[in-house]
């Protein structure tokens, strides 16, 4: 079975997807981490993320791998562990531009489908239900108020020690801006698939969201 989980930034996609994958013994695929890794590769190579041609030219030199780890899956870029580095403000500010490029999307979509061909997957992102796995048996579109999403990400950053000087107001603005770019790009924008079930997680605990997701899976399976 293929389970697609899409939605805007910090809606809880990866948290819920990881728990579901673990319970079902499926492979969890964090597609956002892939776009973040390409963005980090550009920044490391001192390429302007807004320079589409330069990012396209870099793509053949970008190798992304996932390895099991605790508490989270580890992300590798060209053999180097970048699990935390891809979560920085700098990457977040530039990732939507990089993710809008046709060559980048084709390369990442191919990689994502290859993983899904060989495994039962829970895949989270923006275009999984619409583009990457349109045949997925289960599609969930997770949303929450922007206020709650910003608060969640703020708490998470403080706990992990990532960009701790970024204020809640700045984070709210950055999330809104990224959602705008992701929803308005030309190729595979963030959009609920017609056959996806929308789940509003505002005010819900992680356990409550998991419970609702499991009943959606049970209904669709």
Residue 180 structure tokens: 């705008």
Least distance (Å) between residue 120 CB and ligand CDP: 19
14 binds ligand CDP (CB under 6 A): yes
51, 145 contact by CB (below 8 A): no
Interface residue with ligand CDP, options 13, 28, 41, 62 (CB under 6 A) = 13
Strand order in the sheet with 80-81: 64-67, 74-77, 80-81
Phi, psi of 163 (to 5 degrees): 45, 55
Torsion 61-125-97-202 (CA) sign: negative
96 binds ligand CDP (CB under 6 A): yes
Q: Which of residues 161-200 bind ligand CDP (CB under 6 A)?
A: 178, 182
157, 164 contact by CB (below 8 A): yes
31 binds ligand CDP (CB under 6 A): yes
Interface residue with ligand CDP, options 43, 74, 111, 204 (CB under 6 A) = 204
Size of the site for ligand CDP (CB under 6 A): 30
Least distance (Å) between residue 187 CB and ligand CDP: 9
How far the first Cα of the chain sits from its last, in Å, is 8
140 binds ligand CDP (CB under 6 A): no
**Is residue 139 marked as binding?**
no
DSSP 144: -
Q: What CA–CA distance (Å, rounded) separates 174 from 90? A: 11
Q: To the nearest 5 percent, what fractions of the chain are helix, strand and coil?
A: 55, 15, 30
**Residue number, 54 or 72, with CB nearest to ligand CDP:** 72
* Residues annotated in a binding site for ATP: 7-15
* Residues annotated in a binding site: 7-15
Q: Which residues bind ligand CDP (CB under 6 A)?
A: 7, 9-15, 31-33, 35-36, 95-96, 99, 125-128, 152-153, 156, 178, 182, 201, 204-206, 209
């Amino acid at each position: 079975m293929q389970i697609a989980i899409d939605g805007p930034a910090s809606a809880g996609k990866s948290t819920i997807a990881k728990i579901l994958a673990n319970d079902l013994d499926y492979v969890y695929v964090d597609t956002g981490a892939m776009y973040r890794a390409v963005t980090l590769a550009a920044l490391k190579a001192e390429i302007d993320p807004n320079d589409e041609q330069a990012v396209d030219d870099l793509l053949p030199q970008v190798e992304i791998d996932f390895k099991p780890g605790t508490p989270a899956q580890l992300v590798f870029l060209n053999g180097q562990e970048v699990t935390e580095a891809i979560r920085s403000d700098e990457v977040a500010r530039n990732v939507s531009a990089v993710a809008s490029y046709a060559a980048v999307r084709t390369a990442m979509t191919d990689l994502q489908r290859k993983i899904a061909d060989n495994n039962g997957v829970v895949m989270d992102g923006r275009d999984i239900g619409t583009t990457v796995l349109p045949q997925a048996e289960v599609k969930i579109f997770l949303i929450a108020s922007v206020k709650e999403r910003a608060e969640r990400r703020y708490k998470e950053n403080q706990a992990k020690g990532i960009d701790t000087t970024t204020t809640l107001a700045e984070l709210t603005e950055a999330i809104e801006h990224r959602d705008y770019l992701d929803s308005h790009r030309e190729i595979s924008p963030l959009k609920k698939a017609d056959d996806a079930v929308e789940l509003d997680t505002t005010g819900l605990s992680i356990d409550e969201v998991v419970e609702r997701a499991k009943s959606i899976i049970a209904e669709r399976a």
